[in-house]
Amino acid sequence: TQLLEQSPQFLSIQEGENLTVYCNSSSVFSSLQWYRQEPGEGPVLLVTVVTGGEVKKLKRLTFQFGDARKDSSLHITAAQPGDTGLYLCAGASFGNEKLTFGTGTRLTIIP
Amino acid sequence: DTGVSQDPRHKITKRGQNVTFRCDPISEHNRLYWYRQTLGQGPEFLTYFQNEAQLEKSRLLSDRFSAERPKGSFSTLEIQRTEQGDSAMYLCASSPVIQSPLHFGNGTRLTVT
């Protein structure tokens, strides 16, 4: 069974601070996706990273795929209350249809 | 693009009852997935369809669970003889091609009392 461990599990910081969320596995993935989920809603895709070492930026969010394609990180600069939510990484394996989701990081930004 | 629609949004049932959930995917998406999510955790894969064919089922999907997608459009997930451990959010997602991002519905929250 492929496992994606996210850390930290919970994070509560002040508005304006920076933070990094990690997603780690012992398995190699063909691609990795990050989603954000708000209470009562389904996850919504933020980004997909495909190439080992790839870095993608989405406004204040920076996503990196590890060189070995086993891990990823999400860095948020100058966090805002609107960033509050459950952040999920999800890995796709070569030739496999299903996505395996991580354990999630619940982020709370305090105004 | 009207998005993925799930019905009902909430379901409260007594232990031992049967329940059925419906998912309407994005119309041009031929892949449909069911996931289960407990509070604060990531979604766990249950099963997926390519058109009307159910191609993979998780070991989480016991004999009490059955999913169908009879015409390759909407899908239903039935849970027979519900147990308290079945309480969770049941999420449906669709995608157009293999390993493309998933478009999720807002889920059906099941509470078994």
| For chain A, domain boundaries | 14-110
Q: What is the pLDDT of residue B32?
A: 96
Rounded to an integer, what distance in angstroms lies between the CA atom of residue A103 and that of residue A106? 10
Q: What is the pLDDT of residue A96?
A: 76
DSSP string, B38-57: -TTS--EEEEEEETTEEEEE
Rounded to an integer, what distance in angstroms lies between the CA atom of residue A46 and that of residue B54? 28
Chain B: residues touching A (Cβ < 8 Å) = 4, 31, 33, 35, 40-45, 48, 50, 55-56, 91, 93, 98-99, 101-107
**What is the bridge-based pairing of β-strands A10-14 and A105-110?**
parallel
Q: Which of B57, B60, B61, B50 is nearest to B99 (CA)?
A: B50
Judged by CB atoms closer than 8 Å, whether chains meet at B43 and A45 is answered as: no
Q: What is the pLDDT of residue A94?
A: 81
CATH of A14-110, one of 4.10.490.10, 2.60.40.10, 2.40.110.10, 3.40.50.12280: 2.60.40.10
What is the per-residue pLDDT across B52-109, written as a single tens digit (0 to 9) for each? Answer: 999 989 988 889 999 999 988 999 999 999 999 999 999 999 998 877 889 999 999 9
Rounded to an integer, what distance in angstroms lies between the CA atom of residue A35 and that of residue A55? 16
Q: Which of A86, A111, A90 is nearest to A36 (CA)?
A: A86
